A and B are shown apart, each in its own frame.
Chain A
Amino acid sequence: MSLRRRDLDVAAKGNPVPGALARLARPLRRAGFLRGEGPAAGPVALDRSRIFVLPTRAGWTLGALLLAMLLGSVNYENGLGLLLTFLLGSLAVVSILHTHRNLSGLRLAPGRTEPVFAGEAARFAILLDNPGGTRRAVALRPRARNGGREGEAADLPPGASAVELLRPAARRGRLALGPVVVETRFPLGLARAWSVFELPLGCLVYPRPGPPHPWPAPTGSDREGEAAAPSGVGQGDFAGIRRHHPGESPGTVHWKASARAQELLSKHFLGEQGAQLWLSWDDLPGLGTEERLSRLCRWALEAHGSARPWALRLPGFQAGPDRGEAHLRRCLTALAEFEP
């Protein structure tokens, strides 16, 4: 199994080891073996240069056992014993080829990843393209140390399929999947074939929503002082029709009008304008950054549920007042990526 020579010069740079030694150390240092290669832009195809095979612990044990059997057979001049030893040895060697083939040719591509809140598990979808027959007991797992437990092995059907990798998302921000290990020990469990690769997969992690907390005072023009509770969609007086914004609740769509106008229009209510919610970083003095973000996150979710227009204001960011999924996403993303 050969290693690629990419990134080699980068690694060698700034290293004062003299030439000969560096050449010796090179294969070890670049050990694509352990770290995997840099992230690939597109799909990754597992081929000879990417798959590594080494005996498992059972394989090493068998090696020792075969040595003992060989010595015993030679000593007792037992031809059949030798034949048994060689048969088992050949079986193990042939199984190594099959283990390698169980991965070889597999193609992996990044799939979609939905954002999650901190404290949940991030789900990374990986698309598999298996051009051969069923591959048995292939396991995928993130290589990161906190990447969860040993990947559970599954059978890969022929054709396209998808797997989801879970990683705990502890902190808000962008969580990269990082290197992924795909491995198999099929068919005999004596050898392990694996490949480490990296796909451009990241997951947006929103702040963990804080505990429920009363909303800040609405800052609308005519309803000052009201601490409104979340209310249903379309309350208030009907005020007219306006263009539907993607992300607005489908419940607000005025279907009849839309049919006539050949585009989506939504109902517009008077009361909404008056009950604007302003969620502001500045309203929460005396709290740490993360607590503030957590509370804002909670408020944003509740405001979204209330179907009232709401706005979020952070240092260097302002969105709304607006409603709908797109608005919520935009605000949550801002919260996730906020840097004080």
Chain B
Amino acid sequence: MTPAAANGPRLPPAAGVLLFATWATALGPHALRVPGWVVVAVALLGAWRIRLELRGGRELPRWLVFGLTILGALGVALSAPRPLGRDAALLLLFLLGGLKLLELRQARDRVLLVFLSWFLVLANLLYDPSPAAAVHMGATVLVSAGALVCLSDARGNLGWRGGLGVAGRLLAPALPLALVVFLLFPRVPGRLWSLPADVSRGLSGFSETMSPGSVTDIALSDAVAFRADFRGTLPPSSQRYWRGLVLQDTDGVRWTAGRSPQEVLAGPPETTADALEHEVTLEPHGKRWLFALDRPVSAPEGARLTRGSELRAAAPVVHRRRYAVRSLPGGSGGETQGESPELAAALALPAVSARVRGLAQEWAQAAGAPSGRLDGEAVVRQALDFFRREPFVYTLSPPLLGRDPVDAFLFEARAGFCEHFAAAFTVLMRAAGVPARVVAGYLGGEENPLGGYLLVLQADAHAWSEVWLEERGWVRVDPTTAVAPERIERPILRMLGAGSLPVRFALPGEGPLAAGIRWTRAAWDALGHGWNRWVLGYDYFRQRDLMARLGYRGATWRGLSIALAAAGGVFLAGLALALARRGAGALELPEVRAYRRFCRRLDRTGVPRRPHEGPLDLASRIAQERADLADAARAVLEPYQRLRYAPQLPSGARQEELRRLRRAVRAFRPGRMPRSAGPK
């Protein structure tokens, strides 16, 4: 390419302003997501380009542009976060956005810069799909459309404000059209592909195993775990156990899921009238379990219900997900047949110390084991009495327990978090001959006064036990509440105070200020939740739900496509018609339009224009009949006269004259003008 071509036409100032604004707003939010050297390099490129456009100068030679690009690519290759995934792609995109400034002489390059900015906005939405990001998106689209307008405005007569104005007029109908398409565009369940680095990174929640301290780690986070909407009344706080996964196999230290509970529940799940229906919006946690009020009896679409009454999604939850589920909050139920392999697994005892075994045997003796018929409930009662009687402490920072944590916890430390209690209780039950298992999930949920839903935080993470009783099946037993009954009412963080925790915004207990802060937080969360429900969580399921509620049951791929085509077609046809009609109105010259408005106002004064009257005659008649209006009328009629009948004016003078005319017409308000002395 010759230097002349590389030094193409200069960027018009208006297009330059908007193009640079587009570039800066698109890159801005990513500045904290990429390494510092890239930010500095890109900022330098921006400064160089601004200087070049303002002061003039030479473009970089082609070989240097090429060299810098190679250098940048090398830098990205070396410093990109591993494994290569979303972050690396963003880094590359960000750098490209900076390097694109190096060549901006061709019209094509400028348009490409706008396109690149749009891609960067999309990347921002992938990272941060918040209402703020949506506002950022709207602003960037407006500014970038203005940049495109100014770029295609060959003469540069519009100016950047005019460019934004045209962009606004384009966006005004584009936004509702986009919303229609958004609602009707057929969604697919699940995703098309995934990058390995995207899954389960930076996500908090339960892992497949539980060992002393693992729940404590989760409970230290005050991130949102999920939100649950209830149709009708909320469950009482004592029933807000959210079932996640069942842990059955243990070696005495670690607890894992084991095989049998994962099998799918045979037969259709029981549904009863008093089942509580609720809808959960689950934050991504990278695992397959879905949480539901204990105990779920129906599986949402894309998930199944296991024999352990767990909900298992078909794929790991790496995006926020909404699902409807029905639960029986009584707690008991599930598999009730004796002698199943599941029960055998729930009796498998790890290596335990003699002290533990002795304690359990003691309870079993008392509960009638020698007679051959063990009263499970009696054993449970004794165990809970034991926890209450002995000086057990519920704490978030338990002491280290060594190689036999159950023994150490029960007889020495006697301080622990819920997983210690649940694990020890379950082992004791098994040693006594009562089938038992650990359930991990959440306990609690704060009611949002605005949204009518429960907010469950990671800090609500909890573990409890389930024992199998012959008459009732699996029954929930929470040994923690035997020690700390207040745990039901409050999440662990608020219960224990801020003393032992990392920095945290501790709320003062009472008072108007605290109430205000709490209300603001609730309002913010409610806004976010509504956002999640209607914008982010508007997926395959929700779309079908909405369509069904609107009475459209054929919400299939085909049906939706037809509806989309029809709605879009009608919308565009209407828009084209409106444009054509406005075009017909625009057939009138602007001065004629202004003149007509003036005449309408004149009608109200009692001195209407007569059909045959030209502007000059009219002016002299007004001067005779309404001397008070004469000046104001002349201010209108003179520019009109010039515009309409003078030989052709140069474009600038014409615009000036038009502005004068319009201003005078606006100022012509006969009603507000003082009448002259009155009739003579």
On A, residues with C-beta under 8 Å from B are: 57-58, 61-62, 65, 69, 71-91, 93-95, 97-98, 101, 104-105, 131-133, 136-137, 139, 152-155, 157-161, 185-190
Contacts and interface: CB of A to CB of B under 8 A. Distances in A.
Contact of A90 (B134, B166, B174): B174
Given A65-B115, A97-B576, A132-B587, A84 B152 contact: no
A131 B158 CA distance: 20
B607 interface: no
B149 A187 contact: yes
Given A84-B122, A90-B181, A188-B148, A136 B153 contact: yes
Contacts of B536: 78-80
A62 B170 contact: no
10 contacts: A72-B122, A75-B193, A75-B194, A86-B182, A97-B575, A101-B579, A155-B155, A160-B648, A185-B152, A187-B167
Given A65-B115, A97-B572, A133-B586, A77 B319 contact: yes
A137 B177 contact: no
Contacts of A131: 586-589
Interface string B561-599: 000000000001001100110010011111000000000
A225 B188 CA distance: 101
B295 to A, nearest CB: 28
A109 to B, nearest CB: 16
Contacts of B535: 79-80, 83
A155 B442 CA distance: 67
A186 B177 contact: no
Given A90-B174, A157-B654, A158-B590, A189 B151 contact: yes
User: Lowest 9 CB-CB distances: which A-B pairs, in order?
Assistant: A153-B154, A189-B152, A132-B586, A90-B174, A86-B178, A90-B177, A87-B178, A137-B154, A131-B587
B143 interface: no
Contacts of A58: 108, 111
A81 B122 contact: yes
Contacts of A93: 174, 177, 572
A67 to B, nearest CB: 12
Nearest to B542: A79
Nearest to B151: A189
B191 A77 contact: yes
Contact of B155 (A73, A81, A153): A153
Interface residues of B, number: 65
Contact of A74 (B119, B178, B188, B537): B188
B153 A94 contact: no
Contact of A81 (B125, B157, B579): B125
Contacts of A87: 137, 141, 171, 174-175, 178
Given A74-B191, A78-B536, A79-B182, 15 more contacts: A57-B108, A69-B118, A69-B119, A69-B122, A72-B126, A78-B129, A87-B178, A93-B174, A94-B173, A97-B575, A131-B586, A136-B154, A136-B157, A186-B153, A187-B166
A72 B123 CA distance: 10
For B141, B155, B170, B173, which residue has the most chain A Cβ atoms within 10 angstroms? B170
Contacts of A77: 191, 319, 539
A200 to B, nearest CB: 25
Contacts, number: 176
B367 interface: no
Contacts of B111: 58, 61, 189
Given A83-B535, A160-B648, A188-B148, A74 B155 contact: no
B538 interface: yes
Given A58-B111, A69-B119, A75-B193, A137 B178 contact: no
A297 B166 CA distance: 55
Interface string B177-212: 111011001011001111000000000000000000
Contacts of B583: 101, 104-105, 132
B133 interface: yes
Nearest to B575: A97
A85 B175 CA distance: 11
A58 B114 CA distance: 11
B181 A86 contact: yes
A152 B155 CA distance: 9
B178 A90 contact: yes
A79 B530 CA distance: 13
Interface in B96-114: 107-108, 111-112
The majority secondary structure among interface residues of chain B is helix
B651 interface: yes
For A57, A83, A93, A101, which residue has the most chain B Cβ atoms within 10 angstroms? A83
A71 B107 CA distance: 28
B651 A91 contact: no
B424 interface: no
B126 A90 contact: no
B165 to A, nearest CB: 11
A62 B173 CA distance: 19
B573 to A, nearest CB: 10
B121 interface: yes
A293 B179 CA distance: 71
Contact of A89 (B137, B155, B181, B191): B181
A57 B112 CA distance: 11
Nearest to A72: B122
Contacts of B587: 105, 131-132
A157 B590 CA distance: 11
Contacts of B193: 75
A80 B181 contact: no
Given A89-B181, A90-B175, A97 B141 contact: no
A78 to B, nearest CB: 6
A62 B115 contact: yes
For B121, B174, B181, which residue has the most chain A Cβ atoms within 10 angstroms? B174
A78 B125 contact: yes
A83 B170 contact: no
A93 B137 CA distance: 19
B546 to A, nearest CB: 13
Contacts of A132: 583, 586-587
A80 B152 contact: no
A154 B579 contact: no
A137 B148 CA distance: 13
Nearest to A91: B174
Nearest to B131: A80
B145 interface: yes
Contacts of A76: 126, 191, 319
Contacts of B148: 187-190
A162 B588 CA distance: 19
Nearest to B183: A86
A49 B495 CA distance: 76
For A71, A78, A80, which residue has the most chain B Cβ atoms within 10 angstroms? A80
B538 A79 contact: yes
A46 to B, nearest CB: 12
A5 to B, nearest CB: 24
A65 B155 contact: no
Nearest to A87: B178
Contacts of A89: 178, 181
A86 B112 CA distance: 19
Given A89-B181, A91-B145, A186-B152, A80 B129 contact: yes
A86 B175 CA distance: 9
B257 to A, nearest CB: 27
Contacts of B539: 77, 79
A90 B176 CA distance: 9
A95 B170 CA distance: 7
A187 B147 CA distance: 10
Contacts of A137: 152-155
A58 B158 CA distance: 21
Contact of B137 (A74, A80, A152, A190): A80
Contact of A83 (B112, B178, B575): B178
Contact of B152 (A78, A152, A157, A187): A187
Contacts of B115: 61-62, 65
A87 B177 CA distance: 8
B133 to A, nearest CB: 7
